[in-house]
Amino acid sequence: MRRFLWIWLTLLGAFWAGYTVVALAVSGWVGWDAEATLQLLTIPVSQALVLCWVTRDPGPGPPS
């Protein structure tokens, strides 16, 4: 769980910074409506879940 939290916080910061830079470059302002807030929370969570699953410890194999 701790690894997931660190990955999620890192991705959240990167997504937030990228979203802000792109929004400012395209329109000159950042609109924080409900859709933007939902994306800000769900995209890093889904990325962190995928990264945790891909980088998980496979654990002990089946007994031979």
Q: How far apart are CA 32 and CA 24, in angstroms?
A: 12
Specify the 3-state DSSP secondary structure of 30: coil
Q: How far apart are CA 6 and CA 32, in angstroms?
A: 25
List the one residue out of 10, 3, 2 whose CA is nearest residue 54.
3
Domain range list for the chain: 2-54
Q: How many CB atoms lie within 10 A of CB 39?
A: 12
Q: What is the pLDDT of residues 2-17, one digit of tens each?
A: 888 888 888 888 888 8
Q: Would you write out the chain's pLDDT as a tens digit for each of its 64 residues?
A: 788 888 888 888 888 888 887 787 777 666 667 787 787 778 888 888 888 888 877 777 676 6
Question: Residue 38 has what pLDDT?
Answer: 81
* Tokens standing for residue 2: 């701790």
Prediction pTM value: 0.57
Question: Residue 64 has what pLDDT?
Answer: 60
Q: How many CB atoms lie within 10 A of CB 2?
A: 6
